[in-house]
Amino acid sequence: MNISAKSPLTLLAEEGSPSGTGELVLIVDDMPENLGVLGGLLCEAGYRVKAANSGHAALRYAAQEPRPALILLDVMMPNMDGYTVMQYLRESPVTRDIPVMFVTALGDARDEERGLQLGAVDYINKPITPIVVLARVRSQLLAKRARDWLHDQNAMLEAEVARRMAENELIQTVSIRALAHLAETRDPETGNHILRTQHYVHQLAILLEKHPRFASTLDKHYIDMLTRSAPLHDIGKVGIPDHILLKPGKLTEEEWVIMKTHAQLGSDAIDLSEQDIDQAVDFLALAKEIAHWHHERWDGGGYPDGLVGDAIPISARLMALADVFDALISMRVYKQPIPPDQAREIIAAERGRQFDPDITDAFLSGFAEFALIAEHYRDHG
């Protein structure tokens, strides 16, 4: 090939190599003389220019790095016209955000309307007026810089928001655990009780999320809030005197009355914290439900309010089973632990009496997983 016999813009059309030092502009036209005129104008204005003499070449160059900041696209080209090129550009995630200006001899208003409907940012008629072309190119590149800057700022803002949300969730989780562990310092033999019950409740919710009775409530957000709030179920025990909370034997009737107040004490404490911030918080609402009603029974024989069946919030019904299962298999000052299989039989016998029948069935069907949780977080020493 005799390179010296070809103009720079002809070579660009063949090779797709950019020239110039400014922002990259891709020009697309099947006529070499049009590429020469438009490319020369842009190069003299300081832009880098890449030229394509067909629709197929335009699509290839537009997807290559570095990608053009702007495309000047002819409409009337053989094999693939400019409108078709535009459609392909907008369909590809790689090129859909590159602004496109149509430069064409088609002067009918309907042609211009079609181009703009396809997503073109401007429509310039041939023969071109250099000062008009440069002004419109400059305007579109300024607009793109502004959009890119805004996109970068939004991305930075979203990253910062995500970082702060993650930090807030971590602080929230640590604070919940700290409060729960504070309650357990009053009852040191409970050990990893809060971790086990938290995982039991989460597993029960997962098993029931598609169940017709629970599907409308147990969505991802609810399960997340439920799991997060579960450790606060016994926070009211901080208000129970040591001689009752730590008593190794059976409680008297008077002592049992006092012991049962821990449910109300817990929900009242959470309610006061909500009043302090003067704003409803999802996980605190569930924490309050769990603390208040996790000792209610399906048959109405529980406390503090003697609620029956579905009147007991789902969160409290889930915790009721999780709490009893863990109490049965754990050491307490007043009892020895029993094997998980024996605890399973006791819970099965309470189906429809102490526990929601469907929640009981979920526990029984997934018992192996609950046994694994118990083993994983078992107390040592």
What confidence category does residue 91 fall into, taking pLDDT thresholds of 50, 70 and 90? Answer: very high
* Residue 63 near residue 88 (C-beta atoms within 8 A): no
Over residues 199-216, mean pLDDT: 97
Q: Cα angle vertex 251, ends 245, 256, to 5°?
A: 80
Select the more confidently predicted residue: 333 or 320: 320
Taking Cα atoms as reference points, which of 44, 51, 91 lies closest to residue 71?
A: 51
Given a cut of 90, is residue 179 above it in pLDDT? no
What confidence category does residue 3 fall into, taking pLDDT thresholds of 50, 70 and 90? Answer: very low
Long-range own/partner contacts, residues 186-193 (CB < 8 A, 24 or more apart)? 186/237, 186/238, 186/240, 186/242, 186/245, 186/246, 187/237, 187/245, 187/246, 187/333, 189/330, 189/331, 189/332, 189/333, 190/330, 190/332, 191/330, 191/379, 192/377, 192/378, 192/379, 193/326, 193/330
Over residues 132-149, mean pLDDT: 91
Tens-place pLDDT, residues 41-57: 999 999 999 999 999 99
Tell me the domains of the chain and their CATH numbers: 3-155 (3.40.50.2300), 185-376 (1.10.3210.10)
The mean pLDDT value of the chain amounts to: 87
Tens-place pLDDT, residues 100-128: 999 888 867 787 788 888 888 988 888 88
33-47, 106-120, 313-327, 328-342: the lowest-pLDDT one: 106-120
How many C-beta atoms surround the C-beta of residue 110 within 10 A?
8
Over residues 353-368, mean pLDDT: 98
Select the more confidently predicted residue: 311 or 248: 311
Select the more confidently predicted residue: 165 or 259: 259
> Quick one: pLDDT at residue 139?
92
Q: Is 70 helix (H, G, I), strand (E, B) or coil?
A: strand
- This prediction has a pTM of 0.59
Select the more confidently predicted residue: 165 or 42: 42
* Tokens describing residue 365: 């069907």
Rounded to 5 degrees, what are φ and ψ at 194? -65, -35
Q: Which residues pair with 52 in a beta bridge?
A: 28
Tens-place pLDDT, residues 245-292: 888 888 999 999 999 999 999 899 888 877 777 666 777 889 999 999
144-153, 291-300, 354-363: the lowest-pLDDT one: 144-153
> Quick one: pLDDT at residue 280?
67
Calpha distance 136→125 (Å, rounded):
12
Select the more confidently predicted residue: 69 or 172: 69
Over residues 183-207, mean pLDDT: 82
Given a cut of 70, is residue 239 above it in pLDDT? yes
DSSP annotation string for 102-159: EEES---HHHHHHHHHTT-SEEEESSP-HHHHHHHHHHHHHHHHHHHHHHHHHHHHHH
> Quick one: pLDDT at residue 184?
66
> Quick one: pLDDT at residue 7?
44
> Quick one: pLDDT at residue 40?
92
